[in-house]
Amino acid sequence: MVKELLSVHHLTFAYSGDCVLQGVDFTLHRGTFLGIVGPNGSGKTTLLHLLARLLPLQEGIICFEGKEIWRYSHTEWAKKVAIVFQEIPTRVSLPCQEVIAMGRFPYLRRFAREGEEDERAVQWAMEMTETWQFAERDFGELSGGEKQRVMIARALAQKPTLLLLDEPTSHLDVLHQLEVMQILRALQREGITIIGIFHDPNVVAQWCQYALFLKGGRVLRFGTTEEVMRKEYLAELLEVEFIEHTHPLSLRPFFTPLELRKRPSRGITVHLICGGGRGIPFVRKFLEAGFSLSVGIVNRFDSDEELAIQLRLPVVSEKPFSPFSEESLHHALHLARKAQWVFIVPTYWGRGNLLNLELARLLLLEGKRVFLLREGFDPRFDYTGGEARKKLAELAHHGAQVLERVEELWEK
């Protein structure tokens, strides 16, 4: 028995001179689930069609179970490899079980009737996909998700070793997407090898064991999802920055794309004095209103600090759970001088971060415009026994403007 199920060597393909795939190499073991990710036009579908023998090979070799794929007969091949497409057939009004039974085509001789083995295969396909409940219903009357499950059942009735899927979930809503992915996972447990193209890198991160990144017809990355699914590789692949979190249930990585960085439209930089996670909504508001931002001083691993890092904002940070040092104060002073305005976020005040108010005072004396919100005077924020409030009042006295709402700044 050959160890690899599928091996692809130096696969190159061109449509009338336009190179779509260039030197694609990878091997896949039995019983694995590979997700292919790539931007539009990266050659994903061409690759899958070549694997499914829907396109002729031009250059390179594809071997399946140690044998060149084009050396299988049409029906031998259809017994080993099945494919499900993104497009769902329209204008078909047959009972679903008839549609699923079409998967038995390669097993039936020209005039033969379906036998017991065919019935068992169809039954199994229906059980795996939970389609038996609409076995007798008209295919044309099903919802998109149900139709796609029937198409998967049709592919399973072929009893394939390898199942190929071309964006099977991209027309489906969240519930049906999850249903399909759960079916695929169950199939993988049954020992079926699966290769799927997925639009959403998170689907691959969640469900696949292996990932292949395709860009410009070349393999950018190939490996286990742990190795490959990283935000820096994804950024390289899709040209969008991602934030990486941990999925709360599966504990697998989960990626959120960052908005495309817009040019700050106002030409005003605001230095935010924040901390304790209180800065997050203000960061959003300022950025959306078109301001540039700098942040400091905040403690390392404070959620305000993490956000600033992820957004690549200039930030001055202090060691975790440490009172701010004079060194940090100098850094922050240096940074904030580049800003036109200073905004003090209504945050909690303790002995550790009082120095931030000192920072504000120094900046005010240097002539910077300093703003704070009325709610910042709320005694519940003050864990310094009134000292912070006193300092805030002092700032207001020396010319810092007290606002009711941050949005008042948009008019200035």
Partner 1 sequence: MYMSHRRKNRQFLRLLGLVVGGLLGSIVFAQGVGGGGYSWHDSFALFSPSTLSTIDRTILFHIRLPRIIIAVLVGGGLALGGAALQGMFHNPLVDPYVLGVSSGAALGAVVAMVSGIYFGLFTIPLFAFSGAVCTAFVVFRLGMVAKRIPLETLLLAGVAMGMFLSAFISLGMFLAGEDLHQIVFWTMGGLWGRGWMEVRMVVFPFLIGVPLLFSFTRELNAFLLGEKVAQSLGVDVEKVKKWLLLFVSLLVASCVAVSGVIGFVGLVVPHLLRLLGCEDHRFLLPLSFLVGGVVLLWADTLARTILNPVELPVGIVTSIIGAPFFIYLLRRKKREW
- In the complex, the residues that contact partner 1 under the rule CB under 8 A are 52-54, 74-75, 77-79, 81-83, 85, 87, 89, 91-95, 97-99, 101-103, 105-106, 108, 110-111, 114, 119, 122-123, 126, 132, 135-136, 140, 151, 154, 158
Q: Which residue is associated with the tokens 């200035």?
A: 412
CB nearer partner 1, residue 141 or residue 227: 141
Kindly report the three-state secondary structure assignment for every residue of 294-324.
EEEEEECCCHHHHHHHHCCCCEEEECCCCCC
In a 10 Å sphere around its CB, with 0-12 CB exposed, 13-18 middle and 19+ buried, how is residue 386 labelled?
Answer: exposed
Q: Rg of the chain over CA atoms, in angstroms?
A: 30
CB nearer partner 1, residue 79 or residue 221: 79
The Cα angle at residue 150 between residues 147 and 152, in degrees rounded to 5: 115
Torsion of CA 296, 300, 302, 305, to 10 degrees: 50
Minimum distance from residue 272 beta carbon to partner 1 (Å): 55
Q: How many Å separate Cα 356 from the centre of its chain?
A: 37
Q: Which residue is associated with the tokens 């899709």?
A: 238
> Which residues sit opposite 95 in a β-bridge?
138
Minimum distance from residue 2 beta carbon to partner 1 (Å): 23
CB nearer partner 1, residue 95 or residue 290: 95
Element (H, E) at 292: strand 292-299
CB nearer partner 1, residue 123 or residue 340: 123
User: Where on the phi/psi map is residue 53: left (φ > 0), alpha (ψ -120 to 50), or beta?
Assistant: left
Minimum distance from residue 47 beta carbon to partner 1 (Å): 15
Minimum distance from residue 169 beta carbon to partner 1 (Å): 18
Minimum distance from residue 83 beta carbon to partner 1 (Å): 5
CB nearer partner 1, residue 132 or residue 383: 132
With beta carbons less than 8 A apart as the criterion, state whether 127 and 146 touch.
no
Strand pairing class (67-68; 59-64): antiparallel
Which tokens in the block code for residue 91?
């204008």
Minimum distance from residue 142 beta carbon to partner 1 (Å): 14
CB nearer partner 1, residue 44 or residue 271: 44
Minimum distance from residue 91 beta carbon to partner 1 (Å): 6
CB nearer partner 1, residue 125 or residue 342: 125
In a 10 Å sphere around its CB, with 0-12 CB exposed, 13-18 middle and 19+ buried, how is residue 378 labelled?
Answer: exposed
Minimum distance from residue 116 beta carbon to partner 1 (Å): 10
Minimum distance from residue 136 beta carbon to partner 1 (Å): 5
With beta carbons less than 8 A apart as the criterion, state whether 240 and 257 touch.
yes
CB nearer partner 1, residue 89 or residue 281: 89
DSSP-assigned letter for residue 16 = T
Cα maximum dimension of the chain: 97
CB nearer partner 1, residue 114 or residue 259: 114
Minimum distance from residue 197 beta carbon to partner 1 (Å): 14
- Number of residues assigned to the chain: 412
Q: How many Å separate Cα 214 from the centre of its chain?
A: 16
Q: Which residue is associated with the tokens 């910077």?
A: 368
CB nearer partner 1, residue 47 or residue 99: 99
